[in-house]
Chain A
């Protein structure tokens, strides 16, 4: 089955800095890669996703890149703000639509 590794587990940055979270996957058949943000005690919220026919996607301060050959994808947050503090999960899924989640990254943005 699919195996998703996510790094780092904790990321601490100063407000205004950029943050990068990386994930690798094992199943070359995976073709959908969403990123979720989860605040404490709340539901995971989809913030951006990318499909295997695209190498990069951007939405304001958030961008995701995908390298199919190397089987890794990354989340980039620019100009971080304290409200970006949360746990971020990456996931990978293929034809079965059953996603495999990474272990999560706790992002802390210091004012």
Chain B
């Protein structure tokens, strides 16, 4: 089956620093990648959708200058949380689709803690 990896799995950083999270499709080309944020015991909140080689489409209320998304290749998308603050602490999950199907394959998630 399709495998999506995410790195790092866990990160702790100081307030004001930037954190980069990588999402990779390991055995397929991901034409579209999605970034989600999930609070404890809550649903998946879509932050943005990115297509390879084009700018990400952000959901309403998501600051594009704070959450920088790059989808430079068909197998890699990155999310950079800039000038992180404690309220950015959350579980961030990416997913990818191959374009041939709308089935989403999720990464294992990244637990971000901002002190």
Contact = CB atoms under 8 A, between A and B. Distances in A.
Interface stretch (B14-22, B61-69, B74-82, B98-106): B98-106
Given A45-B106, A46-B103, A102 B43 contact: yes
A106 B41 contact: yes
Contacts of A44: 44, 93, 106
Interface string A87-99: 1010001000111
Interface residues of A, number: 21
Interface of B, secondary structure class, is strand
A46 B97 contact: no
Contacts of B46: 98, 101
A34 B43 contact: no
Given A104-B42, A104-B43, A106-B41, A46 B104 contact: yes
Nearest to B95: A44
A76 interface: no
Interface of A: 32, 34, 36, 41-46, 49, 87, 89, 93, 97-99, 101-104, 106
Given A44-B106, A97-B102, 11 more contacts: A34-B104, A41-B91, A43-B107, A46-B104, A46-B105, A97-B32, A99-B104, A101-B44, A101-B46, A102-B43, A106-B41
